[in-house]
Amino acid sequence: MAKSDDCVYILQGLLVFGNVVIGMCGIALTAECIYFVSNPHGLYPLLKATENNDIYAAAWIGIFVGLALFALSILGIIGVIKASRTLLLVYIILMLITFAFEMASCITAATHRDSLTPGLFLKQMLERYQKSEPANNSDNEVTMTWDELMIKNHCCGVLGPSDWQEYTSAFRLTHNDADYPWPRKCCVLDAQGLPVNLDGCKLGVPGYYNSNGCYDAISGPVNTHAWGVAWFGFAILCWTFCVLLGTMFYWSGIEY
């Protein structure tokens, strides 16, 4: 009957469209996760030092899930057009496995983003910045990362230079309070990397030291990273859910 033909054509068209969208989103997810994994803001050593780099694991999973989604969407398009039960069954099962992986990635990214509080970075900075006997290489990397962060973003400490005054630190063990109320990198530096006015910086005269904290410079990119992986993955999964339901309905209607 013509009406049922139309219904089938419409369903086929919708499924093909759905799979095309999944394929494109898979490519986009892969590209986005490759961007995050490439560490554009140089914050990876800080996260690795806090032993909280699961958002990087989530991004790595996202790369492979994106490629899998692209490949499976092609398989799905072929299976829908040829109305092959075998192909569609393989498609459904592999899509379910990919769905499970992407679900894990989204939930991991969302959960671990929550745990990146100012207190976490503050504690790590106080315990590891300029540690005189670095236990392993990660302490050196933490120091270098903080130095670059403070110079590039004109900031000091996590919440401000008073972090160095309110708490004792590894830095304080090797640098006395009278000469170094806060690290030299917190001072406004000239072109050679020397403080413009050292006494002004030590006293805290506005204009000769960086008074704002670096937490915004850290949490901004990390939040973008985590939300990019978590929410984009969530959107893809919602769409994939609908396409999978339609495919299963279509599959069950194909006669042997």
Partner 1 sequence: TLCHPSVPPPVWVRARVRRLLSGAGQGSPHSLPAPPARLPYVPHVPPMALLGKVTATTFALERPRCVFDGHADASDSVWLAVAFANASAAFRNPCSRADVPPYKQLPTARSYMTLETAAAAYSCSAASPPVLRVGGDTACRDQGRQDPCNGPLPSPGPYRVKFLLMGCRGPKAETRWSEPILLRRAASPSTIDPAPARRGSDVVVIASILASLGAVLATTVLGALGAKAWGSLCHQDLGTDAFTRRSYRTHHIPPALPQPLPPSCGCSPPGLCRSA
For partner 1, the binding residues (CB under 8 A) are: 1, 4-5, 7-8, 82-83, 92-93, 96, 99-100, 103, 106-107, 110-111, 113-115, 117, 119-120, 122-123, 126-127, 161-162, 165-169, 172, 176-179, 181, 199, 202-206, 209, 211, 230-231, 234, 237-238, 241, 244-245, 248, 251-255
Residue number, 153 or 211, with CB nearest to partner 1: 211
- The minimum distance between CB 161 and partner 1, in angstroms, equals 6
Specify the residue for token string 């110079």.
151
- The minimum distance between CB 206 and partner 1, in angstroms, equals 7
- The minimum distance between CB 233 and partner 1, in angstroms, equals 9
What residues contact residue 54 under an 8 Å CB cut-off, 6+ apart?
108, 109, 111, 112
- The minimum distance between CB 50 and partner 1, in angstroms, equals 8
Phi-psi sector, 39: left (phi>0), alpha (psi -120 to 50), beta: left
Residue number, 2 or 191, with CB nearest to partner 1: 2
Residue number, 40 or 166, with CB nearest to partner 1: 166
- The minimum distance between CB 242 and partner 1, in angstroms, equals 10
Distances (CA, A) of 57 to 106, 126, 165: 11, 26, 36
Residue number, 133 or 179, with CB nearest to partner 1: 179
DSSP 58-119: HHHHHHHHHHHHHHHHHHHHHHHHHT-HHHHHHHHHHHHHHHHHHHHHHHHHHHHHHT--HH
DSSP bridge partners of 44: none
Residue number, 40 or 223, with CB nearest to partner 1: 223
DSSP-based three-state secondary structure for 195: strand
> In the numeric block, which tokens belong to residue 85?
């039960």
Name which of 165, 178, 184, 154 is nearest 126 in CA terms. 165
Residue number, 110 or 222, with CB nearest to partner 1: 110
Distances (CA, A) of 40 to 59, 120, 148, 222, 227: 14, 22, 13, 11, 16
